[in-house]
A and B are shown apart, each in its own frame.
Chain A
Amino acid sequence: MRVRRAGDAALLAEVEDLATAHRLHAAVRAAGLAGIVDVVPGERTVLIVTDPARCDLERVRARLAALELPERPEADPAPVEIPVRYDGADVAEVAELTGLTAEEVVRRHASGEYVVAYLGFSPGFGYLRGLDPALHVPRRSTPRTFVPAGSVAIAGPYSAVYPSSSPGGWRLLGRTDLALWDPDRRPSPALLRPGARVRFVPVEGVR
């Protein structure tokens, strides 16, 4: 693990892979270090943001190096199941780009075992790893100005569900009625958390 400075209030720990990032993320949270404001996993990093008035960055760095990483980052290994109507506007286009039939695009997307790599872009927007490599297609060259909440989409090596309506350039495969983001939900407004496993379950209207 290499630890870099990110200004005078944060450290960026670099690790070898996503799974280790999730284990480190869990370990930092479990350690309950004083003065930690945010812990943000990335693809191969964990960002630790502190309140410099309440802790010493070099001490945090020393504590990081001594942390024991848990075997399994998530206490509850049950995957989050997301029901999807695969009627997205870009299914045919993805079929064309990949040389697969539309049915095969849907089958491959729905049979993937996904892990939430990290969140970003908008509250509750999880970047899901585990997409079938045959479905790795680039974003649209021109993003849509409006993608409705609940849209299930792919771009590059990721799949995602738009938690709220926003502009977006990902390819739309379907929709879910599940609320990915609900500010009033406890304990977490976000359905997805870093490291959580996800499965997509096709519902009526499968092509």
Chain B
Amino acid sequence: MIEVVRPGPLTTVQDLGRPGHAHLGVPCSGAADRPSLCLANRLVGNPEDAAGLEMTFGGAVLRFHRSGWAAVTGAPVPLRVGGRPAAMNAPCHVPAGACLEVGVPRIGVRSYLAVRGGLAVDPVLGSRSTDLLSGLGPAPLRGGDRLPVGRLPADAPILVDQAPVAPLPEEPVLRILPGPRDDWFTDDALGVLTTERYEVTAESNRVGIRLTGRPLRRAREGELPSEGMVTGALQVPPNGMPIIFLADHPTTGGYPVIAVLAGRDLPVAAQLRPGQKVRFRLHGGR
């Protein structure tokens, strides 16, 4: 069992979410930066879809009541285990009674912690993820919370000492595929989107990254009949400022989507922090 000594600014339990219920109004949710959670799980011998922690701006202090293996990935943070420095992207052993202390990232936003065995909080609709839009899943962590840890077969191996991970880009260029509603915008809108820089605002969260910059103008008035929305959609409300939908985005919406991020760039977007600049370019081979 793991005791939350300090949760940090926002720490939630995340796995790979609850896909398959979008027609009932249930967001997919799950880790915003999925490859980072999957890597953390592999490093401790877990299945990739085991539940871990998503720490927004780090800051968590966790006491392990039983000894265990943990790994932290995603936004780079200083780590200490029992007071000694430990490495990111590597399995580390936490002795019984010791604390794992997570510092604050200087680049990126979301760091992931996997524990060998996975976090065994009660699932809702097949997932342990906290969905901040709908309120499904466990509440964000608070000081004093106790998290049960699951069990793995004894022969599930820990195979890697340290995973090489590419650094997060300072000013990412995200690839987009136009549509499905690029025809709702003026002819130059996609050109504007792919030449201007946009800035990430402080209103960004797990639902979406709100950008500010040169507005994208609509070519037609009126409301789009509500339609299904995908993760990575660049939805454009009437003020012309695009929002990139992340894991907890609403399942349907009535603002047109000018373009959708290439799936591979979603984890990059999930690490964008307020104040950071971002650019977009057309994904080849549409």
Contact = CB atoms under 8 A, between A and B. Distances in A.
Interface of A: 4-10, 12, 25, 37-47, 49, 52, 118-127, 164, 183, 188-190, 193-194
A63 B252 CA distance: 24
Interface in B70-124: 124
Given A47-B227, A120-B251, 8 more contacts: A38-B21, A44-B227, A45-B227, A118-B226, A120-B25, A121-B250, A123-B21, A123-B26
A1 to B, nearest CB: 14
Interface string B18-42: 0111111110100000000000000
A8 B263 contact: yes
A186 B167 CA distance: 45
A123 to B, nearest CB: 5
Given A12-B227, A43-B225, A190-B25, A37 B19 contact: yes
Contact of B24 (A10, A37, A119): A119
Given A9-B263, A119-B252, A44 B228 contact: no
A127 B124 CA distance: 24
A193 B24 contact: yes
Contacts of A183: 124-125, 136
B23 A25 contact: yes
B8 to A, nearest CB: 26
Contacts of B228: 6, 12, 38, 40-42, 45-47, 49
Interface stretch (B44-52, B58-66, B156-164, B253-261): B253-261
Interface residues of B, number: 37
Contacts of B177: 5, 7-8
A195 to B, nearest CB: 10
Contacts, number: 120
A25 B227 CA distance: 13
Contacts of B136: 123, 183
23 contacts: A4-B180, A5-B260, A5-B286, A7-B177, A8-B177, A8-B263, A12-B228, A37-B20, A38-B20, A38-B22, A44-B227, A49-B19, A118-B226, A119-B23, A119-B251, A120-B252, A123-B21, A123-B25, A123-B134, A164-B135, A183-B136, A189-B21, A190-B25
B23 A193 contact: yes
Contacts of B226: 42-43, 118, 120, 127
Contact of A6 (B22, B24, B179): B179
